[in-house]
Structure 1
């Protein structure tokens, strides 16, 4: 690749730095041209944990600039110092404002570098939403990565944030789902089930997934209510909102179908070695409806992709795992899958 891929370190009290170090140790060819946007001391601690009793060293190299990552030898963790160095390393497994600031600084830096076309893609290690909130302004304005990246991109482009709609897609080898709403209470998420929001989701899904597949994707749309409303017996959202949005999308040439009963549509879309799925992607009405099926199939292979941004962003499908942070037991498989997908999606 002609541009490097930035991996943000995530919350330093969690498993992010640890799985990053494991990724550079175990898959050096996949990680060639990647670097960590983070804190050198934090990554040195992670490398020491990952190395353990092994005789093979895992050096951490501090970069002068992002482009230097393209020349780093394998089995070395290249780090660009973008977080403000702390007086002391944060303890593992504890929510703190210091950890939230460190994680947030890395994401802010990576977003701005990507918007300046200095990066091929961003892969974000997990941050902790409570720590981000504890860090205060500007970090506390955002409930997670997606909203922060959207706000940075909109500001860079000089647009109101509502003119840069983004959506979350969770994907693994068997299933892709895109969400109409992201981090909201269930009550607020139901209020976001509008014809406008669903049609916008279908347009973003059609464009983004189509670009990855190099063809028009076949999209299934999940209903909101049990049995997709059963003809209005269990709610009218399917008849009055979701169905009309699908009809409008189809009139625009989008290959959308539904609404289907939420308890079966994900099984119909699932692809296995024995059977191809009926659909390329499922549009789900709210966060847990879409994420539970993908995560049930295997968190270790899941990848979070933000659709609609002017740059590629992927992330592992798990959180900070405070309960095992620092133990060396964290699995890097989802991070590796996120790096792999970022490379596939990068222009």
Structure 2
């Protein structure tokens, strides 16, 4: 049985993620972590979740803390802490402020839970995954981000709706940045096992509109209801379940790649990876040339931002 810690549990995503994760059979304990001064809220969330477990008939321990050392022994640590994105704000605009939050958290996790797997949700998720990897000093297979997992699910849903098929019949994925430079892999998209480009209807598919909808989905939700909650929460839970259930599923998450995609790498970014109890393992893929060009551009964008953030963090540490 497993212990899952959620850092940033007082936020909307952290709260719903805790509820979604509680449905995973392998989880026996959920620890909610929040900063000092949030004790009352943490206590209230814990009580409310406990009531929901009782109503559902779930036998699970849920506790709270403001001392991160209590996360020792965690099988998975989910990091949702950080400043939320406003409707008009680009994810990369959040980078420096959130990096200063993630770095010390990751350092402590690496020290107290060296065998854990860290799932980063905080935006910009690709950059924050690199920050968590560096400061935790864990192996690359132990640290990954939500990345384009939810983007891929959004694309899958839109394609299923257009072709009037069950969503399970659609297999597709988006790689690259979780942001404006994301790269849909039409070359790897199938419906009922048939490559989508071999379907006559594909010529009428409003590709640009669909991709724009995927890109703007989070922003529109934030604009209309204040924050994204249910989508990210369920996506987080699905990744935690994949790890703890040792499922060996191939999902698209932010992970450190060397040269797996046409020799492009040395950065944390959204790529297909095999996920199991041991961690996250990017797989080598070959894609169409136009997709290679777009992915390379996305990688360079994230590489530059990551380099800038890591250098700034180093400077701030030296000044201290």
Q: TM-score, normalised by structure 2?
A: 0.39
> Which of 1 and 2 has greater Rg?
1
Q: Name the structure, 1 or 2, with higher relative contact order (CA <8 Å, separation 6+).
A: 1
Q: TM-score, normalised by structure 1?
A: 0.37
Higher strand share: 2
